[in-house]
Amino acid sequence: MPKLKLFALGSVLVILLVSAAQAQVSIDVSKITCDQYLLNKIANPKTVGVWLSGFYAGKRNITVVDTQALDRNSEKVSEYCGSNRNMTLMQAVETTLGAGK
């Protein structure tokens, strides 16, 4: 019986450790470089792209999502970032798409 309790306790501890390992991580998007974006070092590039799209749409009070434009814009930014790896991603978006205006 004590082995069963020890096994159950060990199982609970493993579950708690796995849950802690999957804890939420906060990212300051303004500090992501093109290199980090292109090499998937911070987060999934598609996730970051969707967040950026929403951020700039919110600044312009745009409530419609054009998924085809999102894909095209992502490609433009990725291409620009390929030649400007040390630039921040937000600077690349603003330069490429004029999103900061």
The tens digit of pLDDT for each residue in 66-89 reads 999 999 999 999 999 999 999 999
Instruction: Return the higher-pLDDT residue of 5 and 30.
Output: 30
| pLDDT class of 26 with cuts at 50, 70, 90 | confident
Instruction: Name which residue leads in pLDDT, 19 or 91.
Output: 91
- Phi first, then psi, for residue 88 (nearest 5°) are -70, 150
CATH, range 28-97: 1.10.890.10
| CA proximity to 51, closest of 79, 76, 70 | 70
**Domain extent listing, the chain:** 28-97
- Tell which residue, 74, 83, 84, has the closest CA to residue 99: 74
Give per-residue pLDDT as tens, 30-65: 999 999 999 999 888 889 999 999 999 999 899 998
